[in-house]
Structure 1
Amino acid sequence: MKEAGNFDGKNKLKKKFHQRKGFYLLSGLIMGIIIFAALYQTSVYFSTNESCMICHVHPHAEETWKLSVHVNNKSGVMTNCVDCHLPPIENTWDHYKAKIALGLKDVWGYLTKDSADFDWESKSELEYAIKYIPNESCEKCHQNLFPEDVTDDAITAHLYYEENAKKLDLQCISCHLDAGHYNPNYIHGKMTGIPGISDDKGVVDTSLFYKEATEVAVFADYIEQIPGTAVSFKMIAIPGGTFNM
Structure 2
Amino acid sequence: MSNSGFRAWLTRPASMAWSLIALIFFGAGVLFWGGFHTAMHVTDNIEFCVSCHSMAPAYEEYKTSSHYQNASGVKAICTDCHVPEPWDEYVIAKVKATRDLWAELRGTIDTPKKFEDKRLELAQRVWHEMEKTDSQTCRNCHAFDDMLVPAQAKDAQKQHPKAMDEGDTCISCHKGLVHQMPDMGSLAEAAYAEFEKTIGQIPDGTDMVHPLETQAYFLDAAGQTAAGKVLAGAPFELIGTDGEMANIRLNGWRQDDVARVMYAEAGKRILLASLKDDAQAAARVAGDPVTVTETGQIWTPIVLEGWLPMAGLTAETDGLWSYANALYIANCALCHAAPHLDEFDANQWSGQFKGMVDSSNLLKEEGRLVLTYLQLHGSDMGGH
Shorter-chain TM-score range: 0.5 to 0.7
C-alpha separation in 1, matches of 2:71 and 2:24: 52
* Contact 2:67–2:75 (8 Å) recurs in 1: yes
Instruction: State the Cα distance separating 1:152 from its structure 2 match.
Output: 3.7
Q: Unaligned 5+ residue runs, structure 1?
A: 1-10, 210-245
2:70 corresponds to: 73
2:98 corresponds to: 104
TM-score scaled by structure 2? 0.43
1:163 corresponds to: 165
* Contact 1:71–1:79 (8 Å) recurs in 2: yes
* Contact 2:83–2:93 (8 Å) recurs in 1: yes
* Contact 1:178–1:186 (8 Å) recurs in 2: no
* Contact 1:130–1:173 (8 Å) recurs in 2: yes
Matches for 1:132-171 after TM superposition, within 5 Å: 132-133=129-130, 134=133, 135-143=135-143, 144-147=146-149, 149-165=151-167, 170-171=168-169
Instruction: State the Cα distance separating 1:50 from its structure 2 match.
Output: 1.4
Instruction: State the Cα distance separating 1:43 from its structure 2 match.
Output: 0.6
Aligned residues: 191
Query: Which range is displaced more, 24-33 or 50-59?
Result: 50-59
Distance 1:52 1:171, change over 3 A: same
* Contact 2:46–2:77 (8 Å) recurs in 1: yes
Cα offsets for 1:84-141 (capped at 9, x unmatched): 1122x1x22112102211x211011011234236242651686454135450111111
> What letter corresponds to residue 94 of structure 1 in structure 2?
E
Q: Secondary structure at the match of 1:67?
A: coil
Distance 1:208 1:61, change over 3 A: same
1:118 corresponds to: 114
Query: Which range is displaced more, 74-83 or 195-204?
Result: 195-204
* Contact 1:45–1:51 (8 Å) recurs in 2: yes
Distance 1:20 1:196, change over 3 A: farther
Q: What root-mean-square deviation, in Å, do the aligned CA atoms of Structure 1 and Structure 2 show?
A: 3.3
Cα offsets for 1:31-60 (capped at 9, x unmatched): 111101110111111111111112352422
> What letter corresponds to residue 139 of structure 2 in structure 1?
E
Identity fraction in percent: 21
Q: Unaligned 5+ residue runs, structure 2?
A: 1-7, 182-332, 354-373
Cα offsets for 1:12-45 (capped at 9, x unmatched): 9970111112211211121111101110111111
Of 25, 28, 39, which aligns to 1:28? 25
Cα offsets for 1:49-81 (capped at 9, x unmatched): 111112352422111111211111011111010
